[in-house]
Amino acid sequence: MKIKKFTLFYFSLLASSISLSLEHYPEEAAIASAHSLASEAGIEILKRGGNAFDAAIAVSAVLSVVEPYGSGLGGGGFFLLHRSKDNLQVMIDGREVAPISATRDMYLDEDGNPIPRASRDGPLSSGIPGLPASLEYIANHYGNLPLSVSLEPAIRHAENGFPAYSTMLKLLERKINIMNEEAKRIFMPNGSIPSEGDLIIQKDLANTLKILGEEGFSGFYRGEVAKRLVEGVNSASGIWSLDDLASYQIKEREPIIGYFQGMQVIAPPPPSSGGIGLINMLNILSGYQINNLDSVSRIHLIVEAMRRAYRDRAQYLGDTDFVNVPIDKLIDKHYASSQRASININKSTPSNLLPGISPIDYSTGDQTSHFSIIDNDGNIVSATQSINFSYGSGFIPKGTGVILNNEMDDFSIKLGTPNGYELIGNEANEIAPGKRMLSSMTPTIIIDDRGLAVLGTPGGSRIITMVLLSALAWNQGESAESITSLPRFHHQFFPDLIQYEPDAFSDDEIKALKDKGHSLRPLNSSYGNMHVVTWDFETGDLDASSDPRGHGEPRFLESVNLE
């Protein structure tokens, strides 16, 4: 889907970097998100005088209401912003943090073994949420409108209800056994799983959103809401305190920037592993004519780049407020050359032959949520938010309507032990009070002389490789729609196998990859839910696409004096 507006853009390729200098703006806006009500809320806020940042608040908050399995006020997120008036690019880090009482071995039994599901079910698995603070922070520092206005659509949908839909109900059925009574009361108002089209009404959540809108940070992190959150958590063996909430802090972070065959790629820094991983993989691949290779060689080299980047993720990455991460080295082109030197074009490299890290069935794509926005002034938001696995911890503290995350599972709960995404890690990502758990969320902006693409997706550990495949597709001239429908494959160092969507590879490709020594894991279903907005600098076209695997629909706001 496209809208068209002819404007001129000036774009220059400098010695080693691309400088985006917009002389004209699109004069329209486009939003792609996981739910049409969320995209529409963003457009509503733009019409009321908001900019992309206000629209992002509206989209984010509506997703928290209508996609309760994916993200919410009880979780966190990363908001990658581009502000056109001063070319500022910044990431608002609203990731959850470990509670003050958290300890490194809190999910291990007396023998030092992980207690099954302790980091995934119930409020002991919940980090201190960052999403409400992100919304307030963005409104205060970047928005045009008061927070209370941008939250209005979300309050309306929580109060009046939204129609239940298939994915939401399928996941509810799957997670209902771990939910507390309050969550069951809200999502099963008649005592059983609702039917498609039944209204899901969330009065308590509407009230919490109202208080957040009126009182800002204090409305959620102090006072009555905070008290209810802490009481609820601690009545079910959680370890939150009022101090945990009151001391939560948003961080502004400088994005990771890399270059690949004429593209500038802007992506999140730690505590996301996305930016470093993505740039590292692109750097490795920049040593090949990746677009001119036969399909098997291309897949093989991409997989070998994935393997090496995920090995480094496990080895080095964690919250940079707590540990030293060698970011400069990991995104350095010379470092990538040394990684490339270990790649054999004819044979896979067994992961256990790569240095470091001792070894380690999940479904993905239905948790977490991404949205992309470009407004008529050229402001951009690429945001991914999460409560981790579907319906997070399954726990709603009484009277809040807020479903809490189970993001603590993103820490390395025992060195070398796989988490819910089969990811391993070491000391860099061990639990510490106030520390942010490592994430794979990768909201990204790509700029080249063709235009600009704003993209991201849910999908746990597979997020970074989905963004990589999308970046390569953009580089090959693909449209927003073909990027979201691209077949997907993934490798993450351990387990040492290529995971792939049904029909991603032909029989011949599968045989040839096996001949190169790869193990393959065909997946039963597709994964991811990518939302892309693009802007063609030559024609001025805005284009947007929501992943055909999900329920999202993009929305556009055309200018009144459109030619």
For the question of residue 534 being annotated catalytic, the response is no
Q: Which stretch binds ligand GLY (CB under 6 A): 79-87, 140-148, 436-444, 539-547?
A: 436-444
Minimum separation from the CB atom of position 277 to ligand GLY (A):
11
Listed in sequence order, the DSSP H helices in 321-386 are 327-330, 333-341
Minimum separation from the CB atom of position 68 to ligand GLY (A):
16
Minimum separation from the CB atom of position 267 to ligand GLY (A):
14
Q: Peptide bond preceding 495: is omega within 30 degrees of 0, i.e. cis?
A: yes
- 136 or 409: CB nearest ligand GLY: 409
Residue 410 within binding range of ligand GLY, rule CB under 6 A: yes
Q: Which stretch binds ligand GLY (CB under 6 A): 79-87, 123-131, 437-445, 480-488?
A: 437-445
Q: List all residues 6 or more positions away from 511 whose beta carbon is below 8 Å from its beta carbon.
A: none
CB 147 within 8 A of CB 135: yes
Minimum separation from the CB atom of position 6 to ligand GLY (A):
40
Residue 441 within binding range of ligand GLY, rule CB under 6 A: yes
Minimum separation from the CB atom of position 334 to ligand GLY (A):
28
Question: DSSP label at 104?
Answer: T
Q: Which stretch binds ligand GLY (CB under 6 A): 45-53, 348-356, 434-442, 472-480?
A: 434-442
Q: CA 29, 33, 35 angle in degrees (round to 5)? A: 120
Q: CA 52, 56, 61 angle in degrees (round to 5)? A: 155
Residue 386 within binding range of ligand GLY, rule CB under 6 A: yes
Q: Which stretch binds ligand GLY (CB under 6 A): 178-186, 439-447, 515-523, 544-552?
A: 439-447
The pattern of x and - marking residues 187 through 206 that bind ligand GLY according to CB under 6 A reads --------------------
Question: How many CB atoms within 10 Å of residue 277?
Answer: 31
- 42 or 274: CB nearest ligand GLY: 274
Residue 312 within binding range of ligand GLY, rule CB under 6 A: no
- Residue 437 to residue 127: CA distance in whole angstroms: 9
- Residue 175 to residue 407: CA distance in whole angstroms: 16
Number of amino acids touching ligand GLY (CB under 6 A): 9
Evaluate the CA torsion angle 148, 220, 177, 99 in order and state its sign.
Answer: positive
- 64 or 388: CB nearest ligand GLY: 388
- Bridge-based pairing of strands 451-455 and 531-536 is antiparallel
The pattern of x and - marking residues 214 through 233 that bind ligand GLY according to CB under 6 A reads --------------------
Minimum separation from the CB atom of position 159 to ligand GLY (A):
29
Q: Which stretch binds ligand GLY (CB under 6 A): 127-135, 175-183, 308-316, 433-441?
A: 433-441
Tokens of 364: 């993905």
- Specify burial of residue 188 (Cβ count, 10 A radius: 0-12, 13-18, 19+): middle
Residue 134 within binding range of ligand GLY, rule CB under 6 A: no
Sole binder of ligand GLY in the list 351, 439, 526, 545 (CB under 6 A): 439
CB 155 within 8 A of CB 206: yes
- 440 or 484: CB nearest ligand GLY: 440
Of 440, 441, 446, 89, which Cα lies nearest the Cα of 265? 446
- Residue 154 to residue 158: CA distance in whole angstroms: 6
Q: Which stretch binds ligand GLY (CB under 6 A): 324-332, 349-357, 375-383, 438-446?
A: 438-446
- Residue 442 to residue 267: CA distance in whole angstroms: 6
Residue 429 within binding range of ligand GLY, rule CB under 6 A: no
Give the chain's radius of gyration (CA, Å).
22
The pattern of x and - marking residues 354 through 383 that bind ligand GLY according to CB under 6 A reads --------------x---------------
Of 39, 60, 63, 43, which Cα lies nearest the Cα of 51? 43
Residue 440 within binding range of ligand GLY, rule CB under 6 A: yes
307 Cα distance to chain centroid: 21
Sole binder of ligand GLY in the list 27, 182, 407, 478 (CB under 6 A): 407
Q: Which stretch binds ligand GLY (CB under 6 A): 1-9, 392-400, 426-434, 435-443?
A: 435-443
- 76 or 258: CB nearest ligand GLY: 76
Residue 26 within binding range of ligand GLY, rule CB under 6 A: no
- 78 or 500: CB nearest ligand GLY: 78
Identify how many contiguous H helices and E strands the chain contains and give both numbers.
Answer: 18, 21
H/E stretch holding 507 reads helix 507-515
Distance separating the N- and C-terminal Cα atoms of the chain: 18
Q: Peptide bond preceding 271: is omega within 30 degrees of 0, i.e. cis?
A: yes
Of 492, 121, 102, 114, which Cα lies nearest the Cα of 322? 102
- 410 or 496: CB nearest ligand GLY: 410
Residue 264 within binding range of ligand GLY, rule CB under 6 A: no
Return the SS3 of 447. Answer: strand
- Specify burial of residue 102 (Cβ count, 10 A radius: 0-12, 13-18, 19+): buried
- 99 or 443: CB nearest ligand GLY: 443
Residue 460 within binding range of ligand GLY, rule CB under 6 A: yes
Listed in sequence order, the DSSP H helices in 5-130 are 36-47, 52-66
Single out the catalytic residue among 364, 368, 384, 444. Answer: 368
Minimum separation from the CB atom of position 439 to ligand GLY (A):
3
Residue 67 within binding range of ligand GLY, rule CB under 6 A: no
Give residues in contact with ligand GLY (CB under 6 A).
Answer: 368, 386, 388, 407, 410, 439-441, 460
Residues noted as catalytic: 368
